[in-house]
Chains A and B, each alone.
Chain A
Amino acid sequence: MLILSNNEIAEIVHSMIKDKDHKSLVDIMQKLISLDKDRLVGESHVLIDTLKELIHKQQGIIEVDLSSAIPLENYQKEELGEVLKKRYSANEVIFKEIIDKNLIGGFKVEVNNEVIDATLKNKLSKLQERLTSKI
């Protein structure tokens, strides 16, 4: 029996829906939904996530989780977006803003399992680590 991993299925679906018109897209989607109902496709939520990632990758979009203690100004976000675009060679940055008072100050950026933590909370905990490790 041929076993396809979720990643492989997502890639197949992706190549199928690439460059298709509206009508055939609908057909493919209906087929997939019926397959999912018959439990012929594995975990569909994983599939959808992977598919989304694939499409984003192709179009050069990155999703960024931006956490900060207070909301960032628009110009700040734009500046950050430019930096991130360069770093990840992307065309577009989608911010998902999270406000977390516990961070005290600064901001934290999460992209594809990578974290850039520039919050005050992180600095303080690093300082604590260093001071306690010396004893």
Chain B
Amino acid sequence: MSHDHIIEKLKKEIENFSISIKSEKIGKVLELFDGIAKISGLSDVKSSEMVTFPNGEVGVVLNLEENNIGAIVLGDFSKIKEGDEVRATGRILEVPVSDAIIGRVVNALGQAIDGKGAIKADKTYPIEKVAPGVVTRQSVDQPVATGIKAIDAIIPVGRGQRELIIGDRQTGKTAIAIDTILNQKGQNMICVYVSIGQKDSKLRKLQVRLEEGGAMAYTVIVSAGASEAAALSYIAPYTGVSIAEYFMDQGKDVLIIYDDLSKHAVAYREISLLLRRPPGREAYPGDVFYLHSRLLERACRRNKDYGGGSITAFPIIETQAGDISAYIPTNVISITDGQIFLETDLFYKGIRPAVNVGSSVSRVGSSAQIKAMKKVAGTLKLDLAQYRELEAFAQFGSDLDESTKNQLERGKRAVELLKQPQYTPVKTEHQVVSMYALTKGFMDNVPVEKIKEFEVGLMEYSEQNAKAFYKEITENKMWSEKGEEALKQAINDFKNNFLAKAESRI
């Protein structure tokens, strides 16, 4: 294109340009502090409406008072002056969405922050939306394979479920989320990771890890960093779920992780206190329950008539010194469909992931489990429960009868089997095989310290020698007698070989 052509085009554009002068409602900034703007005028503005400031910054109206309104400024508020004109837009805050957003890192307003250029958006979605109603929903019946044995077997999660991950700092909450994302490769799932008030270094590490694992091909990261305004932390989860809804509206399954909602609540508390809303328990405002319930209600599984698709939510809550009876943890526990408890004690005992299988629950996920898994997991749960009960007694002495001893040994092996290092997701059929071997007693005479090695070897061997079993699991989700025989044979062959080898080494 030549210069003349551009000039011609511009001239034409300018010629065609005409504006009609209308009266506009405007307000004026009365005062501005800590990202909160008090604005006079704007008498017709609605709650949570978007307003614009002269230099392009946007704000969201949260307080409507008699003579003024209180709005949070999203972004840089250092250029806004007292007396600046504020315009109402008549819309609530929206984020740009498109398929091109996959693989990108965006901020709470949906703008790219990964230095790969702007994201071309064809649509915008409002960040606040009423959750899908009763008629549009369907109950959970498709599993989310997390690749973590302890979760897939004992606390299964289904598509459309909301499963809370809760635990102290440094117990591996994010690790579970990351492993789950990494395991979604080829599972027809889009992941949205919302980072709220996290260190930028942590986010960067996570992004690199996801890139290495090839997970960024189906993942979007929404970030409101610790250095950004509290207002951005407050809206980031809503932005994330709006992006998730965009994909759900295409009938896709989406997994969204909020890391973490305790920081979100803290950001909202900050905003509320600055807006002079009365504080309640732990200084959180009165509507902090609604803050999370309306967010998590947007996770759902829609039925075919309404386009299908689902949003599975993994909110994360950080507790202080294991106190799950604090305000925010109890709120979120009651909103979600179950929780995965992570404990510091277990973590330092070397049980990683440090999932407390006793107090972790999944209220709806079991209906999504495949039949084969349900069968082996039922026995495993029982084994573990009995082990926990007996564990306390076992410390008192050796005067135990044979069956108790057996149960203890089985329990030890079960705990050992559920240990799993980070970034090593296990396929569902492999999980079924190893748990089958355990619950049917095939591992009882394998030394506890050799369980790990045994498991790895067994998976390789059985995949070669019990193909019938694997085929049945992937196709019918359950084994037949024929497949079971083949597997039993394979396990026995492998075990004899394994034990003989172990002995010869000694």
Q: Which residue numbers of A lie inside 8 Å of B, CB to CB?
A: 5-7, 46, 50, 110, 113-118, 123, 126-127, 130-131, 134
Chain B neighbourhood of A6, CB < 8 A: 66-67
Chain A neighbourhood of B43, CB < 8 A: 113
C-alpha spacing A131/B19, complex, angstroms: 13
Give me the 10 closest cross-chain CB pairs, A-B, nearest first.
A113-B41, A116-B23, A115-B26, A114-B23, A118-B21, A115-B24, A126-B19, A5-B66, A127-B17, A7-B66
- Given A131-B10, A131-B13, A134-B13: A115 and B66 interface contact (C-beta under 8 Å): no
B42 at interface by CB-CB < 8 Å:
yes
Give the size range of B's interface with the partner.
10 to 19
| Contact call A114/B25, Cβ cutoff below 8 A | yes
C-alpha spacing A113/B43, complex, angstroms: 8
- Inter-chain pairs besides A5-B66, A115-B26, A117-B21, 11 sampled, C-beta below 8 Å: A7-B66, A110-B26, A113-B25, A113-B27, A115-B23, A115-B85, A116-B21, A116-B24, A127-B14, A131-B14, A134-B13
| Docked complex: B67-110 residues within 8 A CB-CB of A | 67, 85
Q: Which residue numbers of B lie inside 8 Å of A, CB to CB?
A: 10, 13-14, 17, 19, 21-27, 40-43, 66-67, 85
Chain B neighbourhood of A117, CB < 8 A: 21, 24
Chain B neighbourhood of A118, CB < 8 A: 21
Could you show 17 A-B contacts with beta carbons less than 8 Å apart?
A: A6-B66, A50-B67, A110-B26, A113-B26, A113-B41, A113-B43, A114-B26, A115-B23, A115-B25, A115-B85, A116-B21, A116-B23, A117-B24, A127-B14, A127-B17, A130-B13, A131-B13
- Min Cβ gap B494→A in Å is 65
Instruction: Tell me which of A115, A127, A130, A131 has the highest count of chain B C-beta atoms within 10 A of its own C-beta.
Output: A115
- Min Cβ gap B29→A in Å is 13
C-alpha spacing A114/B24, complex, angstroms: 5
Chain A neighbourhood of B42, CB < 8 A: 113
C-alpha spacing A40/B405, complex, angstroms: 79
Chain B neighbourhood of A7, CB < 8 A: 66-67
Chain B neighbourhood of A126, CB < 8 A: 19
- Min Cβ gap B55→A in Å is 12
Instruction: Tell me which of A7, A117, A126 has the highest count of chain B C-beta atoms within 10 A of its own C-beta.
Output: A117
Contact among B22, B41, B67, B85 with A46 in the assembled complex (CB-CB below 8 Å): B67
C-alpha spacing A127/B26, complex, angstroms: 20
C-alpha spacing A46/B19, complex, angstroms: 37
Q: Which residue of B lies closest to A110 (CB)?
A: B26
C-alpha spacing A134/B6, complex, angstroms: 13
Q: Which residue of A lies closest to B28 (CB)?
A: A113
Chain B neighbourhood of A50, CB < 8 A: 67
C-alpha spacing A123/B18, complex, angstroms: 9
Chain A neighbourhood of B23, CB < 8 A: 114-116
C-alpha spacing A79/B465, complex, angstroms: 97
C-alpha spacing A127/B42, complex, angstroms: 25
Q: Which residue of A lies closest to B43 (CB)?
A: A113
Q: Which residue of B lies closest to A49 (CB)?
A: B67
C-alpha spacing A115/B87, complex, angstroms: 10
Contact among B19, B67, B85 with A123 in the assembled complex (CB-CB below 8 Å): B19
Chain A neighbourhood of B24, CB < 8 A: 114-117
- Min Cβ gap B4→A in Å is 18
C-alpha spacing A114/B42, complex, angstroms: 9
- Min Cβ gap B61→A in Å is 15
Chain B neighbourhood of A131, CB < 8 A: 10, 13-14
C-alpha spacing A116/B25, complex, angstroms: 9
C-alpha spacing A5/B23, complex, angstroms: 30
- Min Cβ gap A13→B in Å is 16
C-alpha spacing A106/B25, complex, angstroms: 19
Q: Which residue of B lies closest to A46 (CB)?
A: B67
Chain A neighbourhood of B27, CB < 8 A: 113
C-alpha spacing A95/B24, complex, angstroms: 19
C-alpha spacing A117/B43, complex, angstroms: 19
